[in-house]
A and B are shown apart, each in its own frame.
Chain A
Amino acid sequence: MRRYARLLVVQLRASVLLALQYRLDFFMDIGLALFWIGTALAPLYVLFSMRDGVRGWTAYEMLVVVGFFTMHKGVLASVIQPSLTQAVEHIRKGTLDFLLLKPADSQFMLSTAKLELAHLTDVLAGVAIIAWAVSRMATGAPSGLDLLLACALFLCGLSILYALWIMVVSLAFKVVKIDNMSHLFVSLFEAARWPSSVFRGALSLLFTFVIPLALMTTYPALAVLGRARLPDLGTALAVAAVLLLVSRYVWQRSIRSYTGASS
Chain B
Amino acid sequence: MGFASALAYRAEFLIWVLAYTMPLIMLALWTAVAAEGPVGRFGERDFAAYFTGTLLVRLATGAWVVWDMNFEVRQGTLQRRLLWPVHALLTYLAENLAALPMRFLVVAPITLAATAWLGLSLWTTDPLQLSLIPLSLLGAFLLTFFPMAMIGTCSLFWESSIALFDLWLAMYTVLSGYVVPLELFPPQLRGVVELLPFRYMLAFPVENMTGFLPRERTLHDLAMQWAYVLAFAVAAAGLWRVGLRRFAAFGG
Contacts and interface: CB of A to CB of B under 8 A. Distances in A.
Given A32-B170, A49-B186, A43 B29 contact: yes
B90 interface: no
A42 B12 contact: no
Contacts of B20: 187
A194 B160 contact: no
A1 B36 CA distance: 54
Interface in B1-59: 9, 11-12, 15-16, 18-22, 24-26, 28-29, 32-33, 36, 39-40
B117 interface: no
Nearest to B179: A43
B157 interface: no
B220 to A, nearest CB: 24
Interface of B is mostly: helix
A181 B174 contact: no
B173 interface: yes
A55 B32 contact: yes
A181 B15 contact: yes
Interface residues of A, number: 34
Interface stretch (A198-206, A215-223, A226-234, A254-262): A198-206
B170 A183 contact: no
B216 interface: no
Contact of A200 (B32, B160, B185): B32
Contacts of B12: 177, 180
B2 to A, nearest CB: 17
Contacts of B40: 50
Contact of A42 (B15, B163, B180): B180
B167 A32 contact: yes
A184 B25 contact: no
A258 to B, nearest CB: 20
A35 B166 CA distance: 10
Contact of B166 (A32, A184, A193): A32
A191 B179 contact: no
Contact of A175 (B11, B21, B185): B11
Interface in A151-177: 175, 177
Contacts of B166: 32
B108 interface: no
Contacts of A29: 163
A13 interface: no
Nearest to B182: A46
Given A25-B160, A47-B33, A198 B174 contact: no
Contacts of A181: 15
A21 interface: no
Given A42-B179, A46-B186, A190-B22, 13 more contacts: A25-B160, A32-B170, A39-B170, A50-B39, A51-B33, A54-B36, A55-B32, A175-B11, A187-B21, A188-B21, A190-B21, A198-B28, A200-B32
28 contacts: A24-B160, A28-B160, A32-B166, A32-B167, A36-B170, A39-B170, A39-B173, A42-B179, A43-B26, A43-B29, A46-B180, A49-B186, A51-B36, A175-B11, A177-B9, A177-B12, A180-B12, A180-B15, A180-B19, A183-B15, A183-B16, A183-B19, A187-B21, A187-B22, A191-B21, A191-B25, A200-B32, A203-B28
The 7 tightest CB contacts between A and B, nearest first, are: A180-B15, A43-B179, A184-B19, A42-B174, A187-B19, A198-B32, A187-B21
Interface of B: 9, 11-12, 15-16, 18-22, 24-26, 28-29, 32-33, 36, 39-40, 160, 163, 166-167, 170, 173-174, 179-180, 184-186
